[in-house]
A and B are shown apart, each in its own frame.
Chain A
């Protein structure tokens, strides 16, 4: 169910990107898609009632360096969180570039409306 909602969010972002005429709204649409994917990644590793995947001394078997099965069964998956961090950094980079291109375009054309920014065709 949650995954379906996540996919719905992705689709809303895609719709916004495709249907809107304002450059800034298109950028917002792309970011909604980005967040939908990030949310999806986080949910992959989520476990209700799970703990943070940090190994405490109490999670080690007494007298050895083995991790208890209690820890493995209760912690959330840390890998998707690392992936999301990377993805957020990348999306920050592309967002900054997109917004600066929008600003430069506005300086040249005096509008954000993509229907009137049409010098290229053919």
Chain B
């Protein structure tokens, strides 16, 4: 069997997304069929993503050769992101099969969900910068609608805030694309990179670079641009919070930023330091703000800001090391730490949001002070939440430990001792916030009004347990050499190769 062509990754969810609302008009049976179809779509994407490990190819849409046509590029980094997106979306879709019963218009929800997946897959695969913008907008608009899906006071307010800031981010990116086109005369990322390499960064391109960093920074919710995230992520239904925190901010923000900085414009020392600074502020501010929260999902959302900081810090450290031409192995290690943390965070943060959804569905509240003693009533949710918390804090057998360890080792190796100290300090803050979650949600006295609650059943538990198993097993990605060579190393190599991206695609 020949491997599937690349547009399938976008086409499958897109076609399914437009088919599903039709089933909504067939009553209860139509709803069930729509749910099954949506799950089949995400599951098939999961299979396709696993089948594409180790592939590396360029697909020209409509057989128009570049730079005339649009191309899709699958390389190590895209493949890693595709895997993450498909794993998290399959789990979230399974979870929502039961969770979304409490909302009306479920087929519309599933349709928007798949549109968002299609957009993210497109962003990850696109080799054309305007096409990247188009897919980014597909994913963003679907996510604006999903954040406001509940149509209550808070949801609408959060959705509007998210939409305004998200639109500003998108417009900055569009403006940057226009400036790049004006300066280089092409929209293909490989050709832009070639043009930048031959002419150097002139004023116009530097301006475009600044616009790109602001735009993608807004999408990734790095700290000066983070205001929308703590409102938007908790307001969405739990599976969507899992998708938004787990993959959307990474595919649209961190991935796109890394791709543009490393492969198109090339890294410099200033850019590296800027990324390190953004990462550090996000880590520290996110962690401090999270500790003070009393809303379960809001705490998780602030913790997402802090964790994305780790990813950007790792990538920024790598960029600095590449630009100063120090030992290339150090740069690879730093980027490996960042990317591995990205994968880990996608899994455990989506798991945490799913458990928060499970708790919210059972108790009807998100306020930590109104809960307590759920450990006996909801043993599976509790176990999954504990695994995910242990992972995010970085307790040894779990996945989070390995990525943080790699980051610390990379920082020490490159003689940035204070960075290593900050990473460990923020880990301690993370420990405090997740001890708070455990203490107030699962331990302590069970309030009177929650005596009757029961554990959720069916697909919700399966989705949570799958992700919990992944949390335990993901450490193998760096421990087992063959897995590391197959999945993580190609992704790191794409970033460390930098501007060689263009020669790989154009050839010669």
User: What is the interface of chain A, defined by CB distance below 8 A to chain B?
Assistant: 10, 14, 17, 23, 26, 30, 33-34, 37, 40-41, 44, 79-80, 83, 86-87, 90, 93-94, 97-98, 101-102, 104-105, 108-109, 117-120, 122
What distance in Å separates the Cβ of B156 from its nearest Cβ neighbour in chain A? 5
Distance in angstroms between the alpha carbons of A80 and B130 in the assembled complex: 11
> A10-B175, A33-B168 are contacts. A120–B154 as well, Cβ < 8 Å?
yes
Distance in angstroms between the alpha carbons of A33 and B231 in the assembled complex: 24
List B contacts of A33 (CB < 8 A): 168, 171
B148, B159, B175, B230: which contacts A40 (Cβ < 8 A)? B175
Nearest chain B residue, comparing its CB with the CB of A84: B178
A108, A118, A122: which contacts B298 (Cβ < 8 A)? A122
Output the residue of B141, B148, B156, B182 with the most chain A CB within 10 A.
Answer: B156
Inter-subunit contact B156/A108 (CB<8 Å): yes
Starting from the known contacts A30-B164, A30-B168, 14 additional A-B residue pairs (CB-CB under 8 Å) come to: A33-B171, A37-B178, A44-B178, A86-B134, A87-B174, A93-B141, A94-B137, A98-B167, A102-B160, A105-B160, A109-B153, A120-B154, A120-B158, A122-B295
Nearest chain A residue, comparing its CB with the CB of B293: A122
Inter-subunit contact A80/B181 (CB<8 Å): yes
Distance in angstroms between the alpha carbons of A33 and B168 in the assembled complex: 8
User: What is the interface of chain B, defined by CB distance below 8 A to chain A?
Assistant: 130, 134, 137, 141, 144-145, 148, 151-154, 156-161, 163-164, 167-168, 170-171, 174-175, 177-178, 181-182, 187, 230-231, 235, 292-293, 295, 298
What distance in Å separates the Cβ of B111 from its nearest Cβ neighbour in chain A? 14
Distance in angstroms between the alpha carbons of A9 and B298 in the assembled complex: 37
> A80-B181, A90-B134, A97-B145 are contacts. A23–B152 as well, Cβ < 8 Å?
no
Nearest chain A residue, comparing its CB with the CB of B147: A101
List A contacts of B292 (CB < 8 A): 122
What distance in Å separates the Cβ of A19 from its nearest Cβ neighbour in chain B? 13
Main secondary structure of the interface of A (DSSP, over half): helix
A44, A83, A97: which contacts B130 (Cβ < 8 A)? A83
Inter-subunit contact A44/B182 (CB<8 Å): yes
List B contacts of A117 (CB < 8 A): 157
Q: Sort A-B residue pairs by CB-CB distance and give the 6 closest, nearest first.
A: A105-B156, A44-B182, A120-B231, A90-B137, A41-B178, A33-B171
List B contacts of A98 (CB < 8 A): 160, 163-164, 167
List A contacts of B156 (CB < 8 A): 101, 104-105, 108
Distance in angstroms between the alpha carbons of A105 and B154 in the assembled complex: 9
What distance in Å separates the Cβ of B257 from its nearest Cβ neighbour in chain A? 20
Output the residue of B148, B157, B187 with the most chain A CB within 10 A.
Answer: B157
Inter-subunit contact A34/B171 (CB<8 Å): yes
What distance in Å separates the Cβ of A35 from its nearest Cβ neighbour in chain B? 10
Nearest chain B residue, comparing its CB with the CB of A18: B168
List B contacts of A101 (CB < 8 A): 144, 148, 156, 159-160, 163
Distance in angstroms between the alpha carbons of A30 and B159 in the assembled complex: 15
- 8 residue pairs from A and B, CB less than 8 Å apart: A23-B160, A40-B175, A80-B181, A93-B141, A94-B170, A98-B160, A101-B160, A118-B157
List B contacts of A118 (CB < 8 A): 157
B141, B157, B178, B187: which contacts A120 (Cβ < 8 A)? B157
Distance in angstroms between the alpha carbons of A86 and B136 in the assembled complex: 13
Distance in angstroms between the alpha carbons of A50 and B182 in the assembled complex: 18
Inter-subunit contact B164/A119 (CB<8 Å): no
Distance in angstroms between the alpha carbons of A33 and B160 in the assembled complex: 17
Nearest chain A residue, comparing its CB with the CB of B158: A120
Nearest chain A residue, comparing its CB with the CB of B183: A44
Inter-subunit contact B175/A97 (CB<8 Å): no
Inter-subunit contact A97/B154 (CB<8 Å): no
Distance in angstroms between the alpha carbons of A93 and B140 in the assembled complex: 11
Distance in angstroms between the alpha carbons of A102 and B157 in the assembled complex: 9
A87, A90, A97, A108: which contacts B163 (Cβ < 8 A)? A97
Inter-subunit contact B134/A44 (CB<8 Å): no
